[in-house]
Structure 1
Amino acid sequence: MRVPWRLLVVLAVGAVTVSGTAAAPVERVARQHVPSLELDGDSLTWSQLVTVLEADRVTVHLGLKSRQEMAGTRRGAEAALAAGQRVYGWNQALGPLKDEPLPEAERVEFQRRVLRSHAAGVGPALDDRVARLALVLRANTMARGAMGVRPEFVDRILELVNAGVTPRMPEIGSLGTGDLQPMAAAGLVLTGEPAPARFQGREGPAPEILAAAGVAPGFTLAQGEALPLISGSSVVTARYVDAVVRAERLLDTYDGAFALFLEATRAEQGAFDARTHEERRIPAEVEAARVTRALICGTGWMTDEGRKAMGDDSPRIQDAVSIRATPHIVGALRQRLADARGHVEREANASTSNPLVFPKPGGGHEFVMGGNWDAALLGHEIDALNAQVADLGVLSQELSARLLADKWSYHLPANLAGGEVGLNSGMVQVQTVAVALVPEMQQLATPAGTLSRPAKFGQEDHNTMAMASVRALHANLDRLETVLAVHVLMAAQGIDLIKDRMAAFPLGQGTVRLHRAVRRHIAPLGDDRYLTPDLEKATDLVRSGELSREVRAALSPGGHECAA
């Protein structure tokens, strides 16, 4: 069974308690054990990455072996340069100016100018949690010892992380050919330039913020250290981690909304028979069907007797495709999310930069120039995940639409009106909100990875556009929250409208829990009322993870006898 998304995790370096993302009183924070993490460039796990993303505070340090390997590689890099090797970003300029040599006296100054010239991003800033994770990811890739940077540079990055300082990193500008713009903005803060940074809810110029946090005011990059900071996919990876966590939570919520829909329509249970899905031989699909069975376990509504109570004397031969194919659609998305965790772990423990420094067979070191900053695999995986998120939105909207019509809801009051039908219009306009959002989701699901644009005089003639991909994914997750809120709100209403006629039959043990959770915050609809507040409350229920937690609790071994 999948681990709850906010479960406390055990880090490789020891057992620690992870705090939630919500702000906490100072007294409580002081009593909490802050998660501690050692970087070695090779062993960051998915659980640790989620910890860095979601904890209020973290403490991260560079491991001794990595420190020694980094120092040795740095000496080898300097020796290769002294022997005359010409190297991109070290003693040669960047991009279309790659053939311009840099005099030795200008190479340290060049690092500062690289950061200034590349910090040209615009748009919304990354969430502080995501910015922090991007810094930890970059530090870990450096800890592999193949980029040629000093261990002191990693120490500086982690000094800011541990102090709770995050650079303000704009979302727009990166082409997925390295996270140049956002990481350059981070570099300006690391070096003490007056770029914006944040600390304890306050934003200001880096010198002021660093002083407030008790962090040294400046740091000078050595030759060749600007490019390893910005040439890589750490920001895309951090945003991908955040998206996967969000998507897992929303998939849990869909499971709950679907179970409520099944009860409201007294659906037939055969579509979730384990034998059918085992014969399909897709483990994630088998699990999706098991989750549905567990949530509706014990239902009397979804039986022949329950259906007869609502006037259905004929057997329900089979329900619509949207109902019968949900385990297949959800299972495919579960598999995509499981694959994503593996892609992220590999990316987090890889040398994603150019150039790299390697030992030579006969002794010494040499630079090798390539394209390890390229985020093609991540970009295409993000596009694929976005397509499936959009499809889940389509599916949810189709199901909520069925609740409006007598034929497809199997005799629920028209439009889910709680009072006299006709005088009351019910929830038809609530459902229209989902209809309005789904085309936006479909448009945003266009794969940005197929829309490469050449840049920089043809020197960078193919770009992954992975940052555009992950921005579109998060935009669709935002929309999915509301589409699912519509689904939840309407399914709960459907149950309430017929509960008196169905009083002799129990709801499933998971669905009764979910229905109660909805009703703790939103009253059933009687006569028509102003519905925007209801939908906003439902969206908050989805976004906060409360419904996801209810689903996970219902599926836990102690939730009820059907959960295992």
Structure 2
Amino acid sequence: MTVVLDGAHLTCERVDRAARGSGIALGSTGRAEAAWRTAGLLDGPVYGRTTGVGANKDVAATDTGLDLLRSHAGGAGPVIEEFRARATLVVRLNQLLAGGSGVDPALLPVLADAVNQGLTPPIRTYGAIGTGDLTALATTALCLMGELPWTPPAGPSELSEQGGTRAGDPVPRFALAPGDALPFISSGAATLADAALACHRLGVLLSAATTVAAHSFRAIEASLEPLSPVVQRGPEQTGVASGLRALIGSTSPRRVQDPYGYRAFPQVHGAVLDALGRAERTVAEEMNAAPENPLIADGRAWHNGNFHSARVALALDALRAALVQTATLSAARLATLNDPAHTGLLPFLAERPGLSGVMILEYVAHSALAELRHLAAPVTLGGAVLSLGTEDHASFTPQAARSALAAAEPLEIVLACELVASVRALRRRGLPCDLPLDDAMHDRPLDADLDAARGLLPGLTPRRP
């Protein structure tokens, strides 16, 4: 389904859809056109248009914009994946449609055409610290100008039904005016793209986590008393408990109280969903706003710091910390599934005494959990002073967004380990389970089982509304 960009309604899910191959279409360009007309009438010093940038802010300069693009396109490290680069174009397009940049609106359909052809700029990994993705967007600008080549799509599977580079399609080109150079790159679009992709993927996994936990509840006959409506507080916790009760149905509890992995699931998982919701809202607000400096509005240029993304960095730091909490509970439930005291089965769900069964899953889960803890280190404790002291703070949101995106893999692995063990426990106890995982119980390599379980996670439960 085509994603329509209008500068007001872009969501994390729509960014993900467009990045993975859905075509895009432009909504109204009225606000962008109004800002462009205003920019053409401005008098007096305007940062980046009639002055230098950074420490050169007080130096009068004209027609230096193209040199600015060439000097700022110097990122480092590996080129980011196509879907991330495509998401960057989508986010920047949406921001430009929100108005405020003053960039020539004739640029917008050209940039949209690049997305729909599956073309991406060769954006390098390193170069931003949370005060604008200057290297990423300067590289994009040079592709538009023809000074750098677009990267063609890797294969047909990555393209939209309408898109794809076809023989005879013109290569998207646009001659940016010098005055449009800084306005085009004054954005954290690449960072917001990573943040949006991360929020969407983590949301899918966290939704699946409730179904995974439900299998474990049934496997050990955990008490449903902690899920009772009378003990819940807060909308997220209440929703988690309600959803989990519906998935489990009923159990025949054997213990007065179960370990925290079961008893505290609504509290811990409710907290991570609350953090996710806050991150999603914050990222969406930023993607549908004009981060421009200066902001062209109400007939003048407003010099400001809206490019600074402290809100996003703080929200992503909180989200990654919360992920560790919910993954830790998953690993704890995995331990109970290996324990005869909770399952009534042989240790490690082995086929016969002395065998290792799914023992190795605990090692795999804790390996992934260790990586998740590493990725949860807060970036907002850092600092930087740049450009001769003119820029004396940084949010390091790009690092927060990359870490959030990277956190999806270890979280997925932890959940897959629990799912493989819970399905085996259910089957060994003769309880119903219709998931298409291998039902062989003999000792064997479990990597294929984990791969299959990871593939099942996105479809286990519907995406949260």
Fold conserved (TM > 0.5)?
A: yes
Q: 1:287 aligns with which of 239, 258, 261?
A: 239
Matched, 1:534 2:445: no
Please name the residue that 1:111 is paired with. Answer: 65
CA distance in 2, matches of 1:336, 1:201: 36
2:103–2:180: 8 Å Cα contact kept in structure 1? yes
1:377 positional shift: 0.4
| 1:231–1:124 CA distance, 2 compared to 1 (3 A) | same
1:426 positional shift: 1.8
Please name the residue that 1:78 is paired with. Answer: 40
1:195 positional shift: 3.8
CA distance in 1, matches of 2:303, 2:142: 25
The secondary structure found in structure 2 opposite 1:91 is: coil
CA distance in 1, matches of 2:94, 2:172: 23
- Paired residues, number: 458
Matched, 1:431 2:362: yes
Q: 2:104 aligns with which of 146, 150, 169?
A: 150
| 1:196–1:484 CA distance, 2 compared to 1 (3 A) | same
Please name the residue that 1:100 is paired with. Answer: 59
CA distance in 2, matches of 1:538, 1:241: 25
Q: 1:267 aligns with which of 196, 216, 222?
A: 222
CA distance in 1, matches of 2:285, 2:244: 32
Please name the residue that 2:196 is paired with. Answer: 241
Superposed CA deviations along residues 502-530 of structure 1, whole A, max 9, x for unmatched, are xxxxx5xxxx4xx322xx2423322x222
Please name the residue that 1:6 is paired with. Answer: none
Please name the residue that 2:273 is paired with. Answer: 334
Matched, 1:525 2:441: yes
| 1:493–1:64 CA distance, 2 compared to 1 (3 A) | closer
Matched, 1:547 2:457: yes
The secondary structure found in structure 2 opposite 1:551 is: coil
CA distance in 2, matches of 1:228, 1:213: 32
1:376–1:464: 8 Å Cα contact kept in structure 2? yes
1:62–1:155: 8 Å Cα contact kept in structure 2? no
Give the aligned residue type for 2:439.
A
Superposed CA deviations along residues 168-227 of structure 1, whole A, max 9, x for unmatched, are 32232211111112222222222222245223539xxxxxx9895713463211132122
Give the aligned residue type for 1:529.
R
Give the aligned residue type for 1:371.
G
| 1:86–1:531 CA distance, 2 compared to 1 (3 A) | same
1:389 positional shift: 1.2
1:76–1:366: 8 Å Cα contact kept in structure 2? yes
Please name the residue that 1:222 is paired with. Answer: 177
Give the aligned residue type for 1:328.
Q
2:12–2:197: 8 Å Cα contact kept in structure 1? no
CA distance in 2, matches of 1:478, 1:223: 42
Q: 1:254 aligns with which of 203, 206, 209?
A: 209
1:414 positional shift: 0.8
CA distance in 2, matches of 1:550, 1:371: 43
Q: Which runs of 5+ in 1 are unaligned?
A: 1-17, 19-34, 203-208, 308-315, 360-364, 500-506, 557-564
The secondary structure found in structure 2 opposite 1:347 is: helix
Please name the residue that 2:155 is paired with. Answer: 201
| 1:391–1:87 CA distance, 2 compared to 1 (3 A) | same
The secondary structure found in structure 2 opposite 1:261 is: helix
Counting aligned pairs with the same residue, the percent is 29
| 1:64–1:74 CA distance, 2 compared to 1 (3 A) | closer
1:243 positional shift: 1.0
1:294 positional shift: 0.9
| 1:92–1:212 CA distance, 2 compared to 1 (3 A) | farther
The secondary structure found in structure 2 opposite 1:123 is: strand
1:329 positional shift: 1.1
Please name the residue that 1:89 is paired with. Answer: 48
Give the aligned residue type for 1:333.
V
Matched, 1:388 2:322: yes
Please name the residue that 1:310 is paired with. Answer: none
TM-score, reference length from structure 1: 0.76
CA distance in 2, matches of 1:439, 1:141: 37
Q: Larger C-alpha radius of gyration, 1 or 2? A: 1
Give the aligned residue type for 1:95.
G
Q: Which moved more, 1:154-163 or 1:426-435?
A: 154-163
Superposed CA deviations along residues 61-87 of structure 1, whole A, max 9, x for unmatched, are 251533xxx34433432332xx4x122
2:12–2:200: 8 Å Cα contact kept in structure 1? no
Q: 1:129 aligns with which of 77, 80, 83?
A: 83
| 1:64–1:353 CA distance, 2 compared to 1 (3 A) | closer
| 1:161–1:267 CA distance, 2 compared to 1 (3 A) | same
The secondary structure found in structure 2 opposite 1:197 is: coil
Matched, 1:458 2:368: no
CA distance in 2, matches of 1:325, 1:430: 22
Please name the residue that 2:159 is paired with. Answer: none
Give the aligned residue type for 2:4.
L
2:35–2:99: 8 Å Cα contact kept in structure 1? yes
CA distance in 1, matches of 2:315, 2:168: 38
2:207–2:462: 8 Å Cα contact kept in structure 1? yes
- RMSD, aligned α-carbons: 2.5
Q: 1:159 aligns with which of 99, 103, 113?
A: 113
| 1:438–1:550 CA distance, 2 compared to 1 (3 A) | closer
Superposed CA deviations along residues 472-491 of structure 1, whole A, max 9, x for unmatched, are 11222111111111111111
1:413–1:497: 8 Å Cα contact kept in structure 2? no
Q: Which runs of 5+ in 2 are unaligned?
A: 157-163
CA distance in 2, matches of 1:117, 1:447: 31
1:285 positional shift: 0.8
The secondary structure found in structure 2 opposite 1:151 is: coil
Matched, 1:37 2:4: yes
The secondary structure found in structure 1 opposite 2:221 is: coil
Matched, 1:416 2:349: yes
1:46 positional shift: 5.5
Give the aligned residue type for 1:243.
A
1:538 positional shift: 2.6
Please name the residue that 2:24 is paired with. Answer: 59
CA distance in 2, matches of 1:288, 1:258: 11
1:390–1:476: 8 Å Cα contact kept in structure 2? no
Structure ranking higher on relative contact order (CA contacts 8 Å, 6+ apart): 2
CA distance in 2, matches of 1:88, 1:210: 38
2:114–2:172: 8 Å Cα contact kept in structure 1? no
1:165–1:213: 8 Å Cα contact kept in structure 2? no
CA distance in 2, matches of 1:183, 1:482: 34
TM-score, reference length from structure 2: 0.91
The secondary structure found in structure 2 opposite 1:168 is: coil
2:3–2:14: 8 Å Cα contact kept in structure 1? no
The secondary structure found in structure 2 opposite 1:165 is: coil
The secondary structure found in structure 2 opposite 1:166 is: coil
